[in-house]
A = this chain, B = another copy of it.
Amino acid sequence: MTRPRGRAHHDHDDREPQGRGMRPLKALLSFDDALALAMDAARPVDRTEEVPLLDALRRVAAEDVRSPIDVPLVDRAAMDGYAVLARDTFRTGKFKPVTLRRTETVYADGVPRKRVTAGRCTEVATGATMPSGADAVVMVEDTEREGDEVKVYTPVHPGENVSLRAEDIPRGSDVVARGEALTPAKLGALAAIGRDRVRVYARPRVSIFTTGDEVVEPGGPIRPGQVYDINAFTMASLVRENGGDAWLQGCVPDRLEDLKAAIGKARDADLVLFSGGSSVGEKDMILDALAALGEVLFHGIAVKPGKPTVLGRVSGTPVLGMPGYPTSCLSNCYLLLAPMLRRMARLPPAAGRSVEARMAKRLVSAIGRVEFHTVRLADGLAVPAYKESGAITSMAHADGYIEIPANVDLIEKGEVVRVVLF
């Protein structure tokens, strides 16, 4: 019958086939312990590649980038207007303009030829190189012009409306540091110093297998005793959203030799994912395959749904065996796979958006077990959407999930919870 459950790791004997019927899941590892083992097994990828700038969006820089130039390259006008000697304007006012003589016009791409001296000015466009002598720009709005006579109605101080050479990015300064995720603005800064390519860390390569003789690919016919493969698509989606490259490898029969061959075939992957085959059925051979080829790190975790999850390692590559049930599989993708992948991809931990909402009804949870509850959002309320772990619509028709920690057994109606959006 049932054996005592505890927080012990499985020892090797527990993983051997019993040869007489199905093997119960026994000692469940706490979710936190499982996550810690998983994070330890998930090593940041060291491979790098150089990519065109735009392809680097949200990738992680694998080089420290220093600027080879000053940005701006030279002192530039920061406004359309007139480059002046500031002291020529000190005594101006709304009713007592000073009149300066325009000697030249410099557009953004132009090069000034004339020096600005007392009583003179150069018309400048935003971005234009400042003429020598001038130390400020009067905005066009604060002037009035007749031919080459420019009336200035407002004083400016030295440096006003001027972008100084190097004030944005001095030559030799750090623009992007290794390990930073590249935002739109960081790509902009790389462009600003003339970079059109950047070295980034390679995406973790994730081989995805679905096990089970009953599983068939969508797109074809189905007969009783068969189900369409759901998990390959949800796992691949989570892999993509967390910085990985998903390699769909199709369905593998739930036989030891086939599973061993699949793991062998995934030699180039940084992470191998299976779904199905980690429960307690006689035909769930993934444990045996892992034990034969490498080691089992855990089997069975205190999380609902998603208990029959297995983590192993073969030749240094983590192999994660997800439950076959679509909702169990996908919830563990959110709780376990996503943090592993983000670590491998060197991305910051948090991925999705979350919102606060009040529970629409009381929610009871088991102590000692992390629970994953899907909810719909309606008028600021979180309404439980969970059907059962086999039902993909528990998640497809929900807006997000709440994670109830192992030490919480109850969320009262009206309590504020954080909903991570799908």
User: Which A residues lie at the B interface, using CB under 8 A?
Assistant: 1-2, 20-22, 24-25, 53-54, 57, 69, 71-74, 76, 78, 80-81, 105, 107-111, 123, 125-129, 140-145, 151, 153, 163, 167-169, 175-176, 183-197, 212-214, 217-220, 222-234, 236-238, 240-241, 246, 248, 254, 279-283, 324-326, 330, 333, 350, 352-354, 387-393, 395-398, 422
Contacts and interface: CB of A to CB of B under 8 A. Distances in A.
Contact of A186 (B188, B326, B396): B396
Given A1-B142, A125-B282, A184 B238 contact: yes
Contact of A57 (B176, B218, B237): B237
A81 B350 CA distance: 39
A214 B389 CA distance: 60
B123 A233 contact: no
B73 A143 contact: no
A65 to B, nearest CB: 11
B78 A390 contact: yes
A325 B163 CA distance: 11
Contacts of A129: 224-225
A142 B218 contact: no
A347 B257 CA distance: 46
21 contacts: A1-B143, A2-B141, A21-B145, A22-B123, A25-B141, A54-B236, A69-B222, A73-B223, A108-B281, A109-B226, A126-B324, A127-B214, A140-B280, A167-B388, A169-B392, A186-B396, A188-B230, A188-B330, A189-B393, A190-B233, A353-B354
B188 A127 contact: no
A227 B234 CA distance: 45
Given A76-B390, A109-B214, A127-B214, 17 more contacts: A1-B151, A22-B125, A22-B140, A53-B233, A54-B233, A54-B246, A54-B248, A73-B226, A74-B224, A80-B280, A183-B237, A184-B241, A188-B330, A188-B392, A189-B397, A191-B232, A191-B234
